[in-house]
């Protein structure tokens, strides 16, 4: 049985932590930053974690 390949899009966007959580960067920080408030941009700096069933889906795409 061949090994499952890692999804290229997922490996660029998600990281697995030591505890097994899936971490990602919040979208919306690429461009049009002049329209966004300073507090909103500050919130976008921090990463976030994926929860629920989506965690299992992304882990399977990462072949973990």
Instruction: Give the domain ranges of the chain.
Output: 8-54
pLDDT tens-digit series, residues 38-60: 999 999 999 999 999 999 999 99
pLDDT tens-digit series, residues 8-44: 999 999 999 999 999 999 999 999 999 999 999 999 9
Phi-psi domain of 48 (left: phi exceeds 0; alpha: psi -120 through 50; beta: other): beta
What size, in residues, is the chain?
64
Q: Beta-carbon neighbour count of residue 28 at 10 Å? A: 13
Q: What is the mean pLDDT of residues 2-9?
A: 92
Contact between residue 62 and residue 7 where contact means Cβ atoms under 8 Å apart: yes
Could you tell me the pTM of the whole model?
A: 0.80
């Amino acid at each position: 049985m061949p090994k499952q390949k890692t999804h290229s899009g997922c490996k660029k966007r998600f990281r697995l932590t030591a505890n097994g959580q899936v971490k990602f960067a919040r979208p919306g920080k690429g461009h049009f930053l002049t329209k966004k408030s300073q507090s909103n941009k500050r919130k976008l700096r921090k990463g976030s974690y994926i929860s629920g069933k989506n965690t299992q889906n992304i882990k399977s795409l990462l072949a973990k």
